[in-house]
Chains A and B, each alone.
Chain A
Amino acid sequence: MKITLDADKCCGAGQCVLVAPEVFDQRDEDGIVVLLDAEPPAEQHDAVREAAAICPAAVIEVH
C-alpha cells in the first residue's frame, strides 16, 4: 500500500487521525494533515482505507 495526500484540500476535520493515528497526524501550526507513514504495514491497511473513505475533503488516496 502506498498513500498520497492532497493536503491543499484538507479541512482539518481530523477523522483520519481518529481512525489511523499511526499513519496520520495534524500539523501543530494549522491542523492540516501530515502523513507519518506513506507505506504502512499490513495491519494498518484497513484503518487507512477507512480513513480515506470518511475523509470529508477526499484528501487521502490509497494506491
Chain B
Amino acid sequence: MTISPTAPVGTAPAPLPVEPPTGCPFDPPTAFGALRTEEPISRIALPDGSWAWLATRYSDIRAILGDTRFSSDTTLHGYPLSGMTGGGNTQNRGFIRMDPPEHTRLRRMVTREFMVKRVEALRPEIQRITDELCDEMARGQGPVDLVEALALPVPSLVISLLLGVPYDDHEVFQRLTGTLLSRTVPDDEREAARVELRDYLDQLVTAKEADPGDDILGRLITEQQQTGEITHDEVAAFAALLLIAGHETTANMIGLSALTLMRDPESAARLRQDPGLIRGAVEELLRFHSIIRNGPRRVATADIEIDGHLIRAGEGVVAAVPSANRDESVFADADRLDICRPNAQHHVAFGYGIHQCLGQALARVELQVVIGTLLRRFPTLRPAVPVDEIPFRTDMAIYGCHALPVTW
C-alpha cells in the first residue's frame, strides 16, 4: 500500500457535485461513479475558497464515520464549515456538532425517546394521523401537492407532538427550517433565520419551564434542566435539532419514495399484494435516495490513513453518502431499485458511527406507514405533471421535491 502524495499545489479542485444526471432525478451526480473507481479520496473546493477531501467509497466512508479521530466538533480549526447549512457556528451548537464525552452525555438524555419499542408504540398514532390526511386528500378531486398534503404534515405533526411544540406554529418552523437548509440563500439571510428560530425556541422553552408537559421538552426540563445537568439554552438547542431533523428529512423521503413507486408500478403492485415487504422496501428506498447531499463532514484530529491515502490532522472531509449507497462493490446493480434487496439495510443513509441518526426508528415507522397507506388508499396515484416539470431540491442540503403535484 502506498501513501498518496499531497495533491499538487495550484490545481483548483471542482466543487461538491450536487446535480443529478440529466433525465435521472433519482440518481446521484454522475461524477461519483468515476471517483469511486479512480480517485475515491479526492479534493473538492468549498465556497469560501478552502478545500476538503471528498470520500466516495462505501468502505472508506464507514471507516471515516466510524473513527472518532475524525471529529464532528465544528469549532475545531480546519473543520469544513464553508457551504454547510443549518446556520452559523455558535457556542450552543447541539450534540451532532460535538465529540464524546459531551456528545455521549447529551445524546443519551434523549436516546430512550426514540428507541425501537417507544416508536413502535407510536405506530397506531402515526397511522391515525396518516389516515386523517389521506381522508382529507380523498375528499378532493386532485390534483394536489403531495408534499403539502401528506409528506410534510405527517412527520411535522409527529415531531411536534413528541416534543410538545404547538403544531399551530408549523408555518414558522417550516419556513425557518427551509431557509436554514438552503444552500443558495445568502449567509446573512440564513443567519437571520437562525436568530429568529433561536428566539422562537427561547420563548417556547420559557413557556414550558412554567408548565412542562408530558413530552420530550417537558422531560428535559424536569429531569435534566431542573437538576442542573443542562441549561435553558441547551434545552432550546435540543428543540432546534430535533425539530429540524424530525420533519424535513422524512418529508423528503416520503415525497421521493412515492414518486419512485408511481414510476415503478411493478414494485408498487408487489407491495400492495404483500404488505409485509414494506419494511425491506423502506430500507431500499433509503439506500436508493440517500437524501443527505451535503455531508456528513468531519475534521481529522490526527494523521490517518484511509484506503492508502493520508489525511492529515486539521484537514476536512466530506462523506458522500449517496455515493456510498450506490457502491457496486457492496450493492449489486446498485442503480436499480430492488425492494427485496437482501442487504439493503447495510445502507448509510442514516450515517454511520456514533452520530448515526438518533431518530431512525421513527423515520422507518413513518415511512412504512405513509408509503404503505398511500399505496393502499390511492392505487391509481400518478404525477399530475411531466417529471421534468417537478421542482427537485438540488438547491438544498436535503434532496427531494419542493412540490409534487399528483392525481388519481
Point out residues on A near B: beta carbons under 8 Å.
9, 11-15, 17-19, 25-32, 50, 53-54, 56-58
Contacts and interface: CB of A to CB of B under 8 A. Distances in A.
A54 B345 contact: yes
Contacts of A53: 346
Nearest to B113: A31
Interface of B: 65-66, 104, 107-108, 111-117, 345-346, 350-358, 360-361, 364
Given A31-B108, A56-B352, A15 B115 contact: no
Contacts of A27: 112
Contacts of B360: 13-15
A26 B115 contact: yes
Given A32-B111, A54-B345, A14 B354 contact: no
Nearest to B351: A56
B116 A26 contact: yes
Contact of B107 (A11, A15, A19, A58): A11
B356 A30 contact: no
Contacts of B352: 56
B108 A56 contact: no
- Give the most central of A9, A11, A13, A25: most B CB within 10 Å: A13
B111 A56 contact: no
A29 B223 CA distance: 12
Nearest to A29: B112
Contacts of B113: 31
Given A11-B111, A12-B111, A32-B111, A17 B346 contact: no
B116 A32 contact: no
Contact of B111 (A9, A18, A30, A54): A30
Given A11-B107, A32-B108, A56 B116 contact: no
A50 B345 CA distance: 9
A19 B108 contact: no
B112 A57 contact: no
Contact of A15 (B65, B117, B345): B345
A14 B120 CA distance: 12
Contacts of B117: 17, 25-26
- The 4 A-B residue pairs with the shortest CB-CB distance, nearest first, are A31-B111, A12-B111, A56-B356, A31-B115
